[in-house]
Structure 1
Amino acid sequence: MKKIFLITLFFVGAFVAQAQELKWHTDVKEAVAISNKEKKPLLLFFTGSDWCGWCIRLQNEVLKTPEFSKWASENVILVELDYPRRTAQTPEIKNQNAELQQAFGIQGFPTIYFTSAESKEGKVNFKGLGQTGYVSGGAAAWLTVAEQIVHPKKS
Structure 2
Amino acid sequence: AKSDHKLVLLDFTGSDWCGYCKRMQAEVFSKPQFQDYAAKNLILVELDFPRAKPQSDAVKKQNQKLASEYEIEGFPTLVVLNPEGKRVANFFGYIEGGPAAIIAALEKLPKS
Normalising by structure 1, what TM-score? 0.66
Match of 1:52 among 18, 23, 27: 18
The alpha-carbon deviation at position 117 of structure 1 amounts to 6.1
| 1:97 maps to amino acid | N
Say which structure, 1 or 2, has more relative contact order (CA 8 Å, 6+ apart).
2
Structure 1 unmatched ranges of 5 or more? 1-34, 119-125
Structure 2 unmatched ranges of 5 or more? none
SS in 2 for 1:81: strand
C-alpha distance in 2, partners of 1:71/1:88? 31
The alpha-carbon deviation at position 143 of structure 1 amounts to 1.5
Count of residue correspondences: 111
Question: Are the equivalent residues in 1 in contact too, given 2:5–2:111 (CA < 8 A)?
Answer: no
Greater Rg over alpha carbons, structure: 1
Q: Give identity over the alignment, percent.
A: 41
Q: What's the CA shift string for 1:89-136, capped at 9, x where partnerless?
A: 111110000000000000010011111366xxxxxxx41010214211
SS in 1 for 2:15: coil
C-alpha distance in 2, partners of 1:142/1:42? 14
Residue in 2 that maps onto 1:93 = 59
C-alpha distance in 1, partners of 2:100/2:23? 15
C-alpha distance in 2, partners of 1:135/1:80? 17
The alpha-carbon deviation at position 41 of structure 1 amounts to 2.1
Distance 1:151-1:38 versus aligned 2 partners, 3 A rule: closer
What is the RMSD of the two structures over their aligned residues, measured on CA atoms? 1.8
| 1:128 maps to amino acid | R
1:115 aligns with 2:81: yes
Question: Are the equivalent residues in 1 in contact too, given 2:29–2:35 (CA < 8 A)?
Answer: yes
Runs of 4+ in 1 over 6 A off after TM superposition: none
Residue in 2 that maps onto 1:142 = 102
SS in 2 for 1:99: helix
